[in-house]
């Protein structure tokens, strides 16, 4: 009972606490209020369960306050402070949506193991800006309302206290427990029958279980885990092998799920999209092995989005890249397969041909789960290649100092610390243009110098070798490009786009010049390595989900169309001749021996298979997936974080196949089920440290 002359003031306060904080959760679950998310279908049972679950947790907080505080004012202060905490949490989760496009889960915390030097300051400013540029301030409305209501009645409630009614408290506890049990059982059943994929759990849970109950469970250590073996209905390795055989492409004959035609792991010239192949590398009717024995420089490009080559103004600042692409085999419809591990996930897919799980970072998980994975590095090492990874950031960024030598078996890993030991002065920056004394300053080794070092280092190595340079810029928030936020480079855009977008498009010329540096050094000297194949791929897009793409494309964009643009990156293979050149305006580059344009969808896992087959890497009967990048075979690209699927005809959401662009398209149910099972199989393969080894052993028996 409450001994006060203003009983209704407190009751209204409690009602406001519950209703406003419950409604606030829709900023994380409804695309109409949050354009950064990819929601599931809203169903009556899901909505009812989430509302009930959220109310149950909020009632629990009220009950806890009633057990701790006797005074009315004490309880109101407690609930107001708690509301501020809840509102701030909703705000932070919205920011997480901005950068990652999916709901936060406790498994993602290990990505914060990466050092934050160079990122934290400007990222914090961007986060603060979100309070006002995208109405984030409204998530604090519950706090403002409760504070105002409490202020209006605070003086009149002085000295008012509660007397405990133990029977009523017990009934409240029983009611809350019943709500928790009902919502938990209902949610678990929905999850298993609708979307049994771990990377979807957090987004599915906050929408169909409730934001507060899900995160309360997470932070109490009760994580919601999907058993991929159970989802696939397999109990033995033999049953897993049976599922694998549907997707394994390292076989002499298989049927493609999209067009129903038969393909093989031996690609003929007639089955490929090729404009030109030099006679010196031809291998009869087959493309397998045309690059066998050549050195490889596999270059990881940070955040290079394909739209920079689609926009007339940014493309005009990428003339060398355009010239280089004219002598290369270009994947013009290439997409990222990343999950929460982002750059490291792109590496994982390219180096192993596997899809990351999407909700976690395998590079950091490796400390607890010593995976045994196949990799292009291991296979090439077995064939006498010397392998080196080079990166301009700290050794332990993404745990690379562990995974490079132990998981992938790189012979050498050269990082920022090594550059510094050898005399690189980070604080002084790098003079990338001696004639004009232009200096690139950043907290890391300049990508200009990374290219120079790759060229000079490669000249010291005996053939064959694999060099894997990993670029650092332009990484969000795009602070360290030489052009900064110069408004004079794109004057027609600068007044109409946000600062972060301006900084990113100002990177166009930087991308162009650093790629050029692998082949033409300062002073114009040719530093292309002989008998070497250069393979470039971008890890992921820039994540500019702020409406500015509509300015750059000069038209309104559908949400899925925007996501497609952001997921589309660039990959290409340049096979330079050792002695033939092509002249351009003020430079020449070596003539490409493999030239073509692939307009069909391709992704990182396809690049892995392409390398294996073009270099005739001896993998035995070990599994791999995807398609050969040069072939005419159709495929799909899967974003493992938000579960978008891109095909040659459309993009759609695996979370809700009704979400599709172009709008007039529709998804075949059989294909949707095939892709969903493919994702579950990928999760199964990475669910234990040795699943892949076991299955590969069975394939090779």
Q: What percent of the chain has pLDDT over 90?
A: 81
Residue 656 belongs to a domain with what CATH number?
3.40.720.10
What is the average per-residue pLDDT within 394-407? 97
pLDDT in tens, 238-283: 999 999 999 999 999 999 999 999 999 999 999 999 999 999 999 8
Query: What is the spatial distance between Cα 643 and Cα 342, in angstroms, rounded to a whole number?
Result: 14
Q: Which of 69-73, 284-288, 571-575 has the lowest mean pLDDT?
A: 69-73
pLDDT in tens, 355-393: 999 999 999 999 999 999 999 999 999 999 999 999 999
- Asked if 700 and 622 touch (Cβ cutoff 8 Å), the reply is yes
Which domain-ending residue is among 161, 193, 226?
A: 226
Q: How high is the pLDDT of residue 3?
A: 43
Alpha-carbon separation of residue 148 from 13, 82, 242, 353, 428 (angstroms): 10, 15, 63, 57, 53
Q: How high is the pLDDT of residue 110?
A: 75
Looking at the structure, tell me whether residues 217 and 260 fall in a common domain. Answer: no
By CB neighbour count within 10 A (0-12 exposed, 13-18 middle, 19+ buried), where does 288 fall?
A: buried
pLDDT at residue 2 greater than cutoff 70: no
Looking at the structure, tell me whether residues 163 and 311 fall in a common domain. Answer: no
In a domain, residue 633? The reply is yes
Q: Report the predicted TM-score, pTM, of the whole model to 2 decimal places.
A: 0.94
Helix (H), strand (E), coil (C) string for 461-507: CCCCEEEEEECCCCCCCCCCCCCCCCCCCCCCCHHHCCHHHHHHHCC
Query: What is the spatial distance between Cα 657 and Cα 533, in angstroms, rounded to a whole number?
Result: 40
Residue 701: other Cβ atoms inside 10 A: 6
Name the β-bridge partners of 386: 465
More confident residue, 474 or 52: 52
Helix, strand, coil share (%) of the chain residues, nearest 5: 45, 15, 40
- The boundaries of the domain holding residue 667 are 238-699
Looking at the structure, tell me whether residues 198 and 280 fall in a common domain. Answer: no
Which domain-ending residue is among 226, 246, 276?
A: 226
pLDDT grade, residue 1 (50/70/90)? very low
Number of H helices and E strands in the chain, helices first, is: 25, 22
pLDDT in tens, 61-83: 999 998 998 888 889 999 999 99
Looking at the structure, tell me whether residues 222 and 254 fall in a common domain. Answer: no
pLDDT grade, residue 119 (50/70/90)? low
Looking at the structure, tell me whether residues 41 and 112 fall in a common domain. Answer: yes
Looking at the structure, tell me whether residues 452 and 567 fall in a common domain. Answer: yes
Looking at the structure, tell me whether residues 335 and 371 fall in a common domain. Answer: yes
pLDDT grade, residue 473 (50/70/90)? confident
Q: What is the mean pLDDT of the chain?
A: 93
In a domain, residue 370? The reply is yes
Looking at the structure, tell me whether residues 293 and 405 fall in a common domain. Answer: yes
Query: What is the spatial distance between Cα 650 and Cα 658, in angstroms, rounded to a whole number?
Result: 12
In a domain, residue 232? The reply is no
Which domain-ending residue is among 173, 194, 226?
A: 226
More confident residue, 151 or 515: 515
Q: How high is the pLDDT of residue 271?
A: 95
pLDDT grade, residue 676 (50/70/90)? very high
pLDDT at residue 456 greater than cutoff 80: yes
In a domain, residue 44? The reply is yes
Q: What percent of the chain has pLDDT over 70?
A: 95
**Non-local CB neighbours of 296 within 8 Å, separated by 6+ positions:** 380, 385, 464, 465, 466, 467, 532, 533, 535, 611, 615
In a domain, residue 233? The reply is no
Q: Which of 316-330, 450-464, 470-484, 619-633 has the lowest mean pLDDT?
A: 470-484
Name the β-bridge partners of 469: 390
Looking at the structure, tell me whether residues 175 and 300 fall in a common domain. Answer: no
pLDDT grade, residue 106 (50/70/90)? confident
pLDDT at residue 135 greater than cutoff 80: no
pLDDT in tens, 484-535: 999 999 999 999 999 999 999 999 999 999 999 999 998 899 999 999 999 9
Q: Which of 48-52, 150-154, 447-451, 482-486 has the lowest mean pLDDT?
A: 150-154
Q: How high is the pLDDT of residue 123?
A: 59
pLDDT at residue 134 greater than cutoff 70: no
In a domain, residue 85? The reply is yes
Q: How high is the pLDDT of residue 292?
A: 98
Looking at the structure, tell me whether residues 93 and 24 fall in a common domain. Answer: yes
Looking at the structure, tell me whether residues 392 and 420 fall in a common domain. Answer: yes
Q: How high is the pLDDT of residue 122?
A: 56
pLDDT at residue 655 greater than cutoff 80: yes
In a domain, residue 358? The reply is yes
In a domain, residue 231? The reply is no
By CB neighbour count within 10 A (0-12 exposed, 13-18 middle, 19+ buried), where does 152 fall?
A: exposed
- Asked if 64 and 223 touch (Cβ cutoff 8 Å), the reply is no
Query: What is the spatial distance between Cα 459 and Cα 248, in angstroms, rounded to a whole number?
Result: 38
Q: How high is the pLDDT of residue 116?
A: 59
* Tally of domains within the chain: 2
Query: What is the spatial distance between Cα 283 and Cα 290, in angstroms, rounded to a whole number?
Result: 6
Q: How high is the pLDDT of residue 108?
A: 81
Q: Is residue 637 classed as helix, strand or coil in its secondary structure?
A: strand
Helix (H), strand (E), coil (C) string for 554-565: CCCCCHHHHHHH
Q: For residue 569, which of 326, 329, 361, 337 has the smallest C-alpha distance?
A: 337
pLDDT in tens, 173-210: 999 999 999 999 999 999 999 999 999 999 999 999 99
The encoded tokens of residue 54 equal 């959220």
Looking at the structure, tell me whether residues 296 and 443 fall in a common domain. Answer: yes
């Amino acid at each position: 009972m409450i001994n006060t002359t203003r009983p209704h003031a407190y009751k209204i306060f409690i009602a406001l606490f519950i209703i406003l904080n419950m409604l606030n959760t829709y900023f994380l679950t409804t695309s109409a209020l949050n354009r950064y998310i990819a929601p599931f279908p809203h169903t009556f049972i899901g909505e009812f369960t989430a509302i009930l679950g959220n109310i149950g947790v909020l009632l629990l907080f009220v009950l806890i306050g009633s057990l701790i505080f006797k005074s009315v004012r004490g309880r109101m202060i407690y609930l107001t402070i708690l509301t501020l905490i809840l509102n701030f949490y909703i705000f932070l989760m919205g920011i997480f949506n901005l950068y990652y496009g999916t709901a936060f889960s406790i498994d993602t915390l290990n990505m914060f193991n990466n050092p934050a030097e160079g990122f934290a300051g400007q990222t914090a400013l961007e986060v603060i800006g979100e309070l006002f540029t995208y109405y984030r301030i409204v998530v604090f409305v519950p706090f403002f309302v409760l504070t105002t209501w409490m202020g209006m009645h605070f003086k009149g409630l002085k000295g008012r206290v509660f007397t405990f009614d133990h029977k009523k408290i017990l009934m409240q506890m029983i009611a809350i427990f019943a709500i928790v049990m009902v919502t938990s059982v209902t949610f678990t059943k929905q999850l298993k029958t609708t979307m049994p994929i771990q990377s979807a759990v957090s987004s599915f849970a906050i929408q169909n279980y409730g934001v507060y109950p899900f995160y309360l469970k997470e932070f109490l250590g009760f994580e919601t885990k999907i058993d991929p073996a159970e989802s696939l209905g397999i109990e033995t390795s033999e049953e897993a092998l049976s599922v694998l055989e549907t997707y394994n492409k390292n076989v002499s004959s298989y049927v493609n799920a999209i067009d129903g035609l038969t393909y093989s792991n031996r690609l003929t010239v007639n089955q490929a999209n090729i404009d030109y192949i030099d006679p010196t590398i031809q291998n009869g009717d087959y493309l397998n092995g045309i690059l066998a024995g050549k050195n490889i420089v596999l270059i990881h490009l940070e955040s290079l989005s394909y739209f920079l080559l689609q926009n007339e103004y940014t493309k005009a600042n990428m003339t060398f890249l355009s010239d280089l692409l004219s002598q290369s085999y270009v994947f013009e419809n290439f997409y990222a397969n990343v999950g929460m591990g982002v750059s490291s996930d792109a590496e994982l897919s390219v180096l192993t041909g596997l899809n990351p799980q999407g909700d976690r970072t395998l590079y950091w998980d490796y400390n607890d789960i010593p995976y045994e994975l196949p990799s292009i590095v291991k296979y090439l090492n077995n064939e006498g290649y010397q392998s080196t990874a080079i990166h301009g950031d700290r050794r332990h960024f993404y745990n690379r100092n562990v995974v490079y030598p132990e998981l992938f078996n790189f012979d050498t890993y050269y990082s920022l610390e090594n550059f510094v030991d050898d005399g690189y002065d980070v604080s002084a920056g790098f003079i990338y243009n001696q004639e004009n004394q232009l200096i690139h300053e950043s907290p890391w080794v300049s990508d200009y110098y990374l290219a120079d070092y790759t060229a000079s280092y490669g000249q010291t190595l005996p053939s064959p070798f694999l060099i894997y340079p990993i670029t650092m810029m332009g990484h969000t928030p795009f602070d360290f490009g030489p052009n900064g936020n110069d408004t004079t480079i794109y004057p027609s855009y600068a007044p109409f786009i946000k600062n972060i977008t301006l900084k990113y498009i100002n990177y166009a010329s930087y991308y162009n010049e650093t790629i050029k540096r692998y082949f033409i050094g300062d002073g114009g000297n040719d530093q292309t390595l002989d008998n070497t194949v250069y393979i470039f791929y971008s890890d992921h897009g820039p994540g500019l989900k702020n409406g500015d793409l509509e300015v750059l494309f000069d038209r309104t964009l559908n949400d899925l169309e925007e996501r497609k643009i952001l997921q589309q990156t660039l990959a290409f293979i340049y096979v330079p001749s050792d002695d033939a050149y092509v002249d351009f305006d003020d430079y020449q580059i070596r003539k490409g021996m493999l030239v073509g344009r692939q307009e069909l969808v391709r992704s990182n896992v396809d690049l892995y298979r392409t390398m294996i087959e073009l270099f005739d890497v001896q993998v035995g009967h070990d599994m791999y997936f995807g398609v050969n990048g040069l072939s005419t075979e159709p495929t799909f690209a899967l974003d493992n974080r938000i579960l978008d699927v891109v095909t040659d005809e459309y993009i759609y959401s695996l979370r809700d196949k009704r979400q599709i662009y172009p709008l007039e398209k529709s998804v075949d149910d059989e294909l949707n089920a095939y892709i969903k099972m493919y994702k579950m199989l990928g999760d199964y393969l990475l669910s234990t440290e040795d699943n892949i080894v076991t299955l590969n052993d069975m394939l090779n028996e």
